[in-house]
Amino acid sequence: MRQRHEFYLNEELSERLADLAAKPGASKTAIMTDALKAWLDRRGASEIEERFKARLDKLSQQLGRIERDQQVIAETLALFIHFQFTVYAQVEPDRTAQLIGQDRFKAFIAEVGRRIAGGKSLTAEVRPS
C-alpha cells in the first residue's frame, strides 16, 4: 500500500526533479522513491560499519601480531637450519649417533607438545614487553 507524503523542495531541486521526470518512463514519485531508498540504505550501511569498526580494528591488530610471530618463527627456523648445516659437518652416521639423534628428536617433540598443551610460547618469552 502506498501512502501520500507532502514535502517542499527548493526551487533548484524542484527544477532538476522536473527535468528528470520529463524523460520517458520516469516519474517524480519513482525518482523520489529511489533517491530516498538509496539514502536510507547508505545510512544503514554506515551504522553497520560504525558498529563493527572497533571489532574489525581489533581483528586487524591480532592479524598483525600473528604475521609478526610467523616472521619470527620463520627466521628462527631458517637461522637454526643454517646453523646446523654450517656448524655440524656431515659425517657418516653410526648407530650410536643415530640413537642419540632419535632420543634428542623425541625429547624435542615432547617439549613442543608440552608447550602447546600448556599454552607456553617461546616467542612470548623472548618478546620485549
Among 40, 39, 16, which Cα is nearest to 28's? 16
Q: How far apart are CA 102 and CA 109, in angstroms?
A: 11
Radius of gyration of the chain (CA): 34
Mean pLDDT by runs of 10 across the 129 residues of the chain is 84 90 88 85 73 88 90 75 62 72 76 75 62
pLDDT of residue 122: 64
For 16, the grid coordinates are 532538476
- How confident is the model at residue 92, as a pLDDT? 66
Alpha helices in 88-127 (DSSP H): 95-118, 122-126
Output the pLDDT for position 53. 84
Asked if 32 and 17 touch (Cβ cutoff 8 Å), the reply is: yes
Instruction: Kindly report whether the global pTM for this prediction surpasses the value 0.85.
Output: no
Q: What is the pLDDT of residue 126?
A: 62
Q: What is the DSSP letter of 94?
A: -
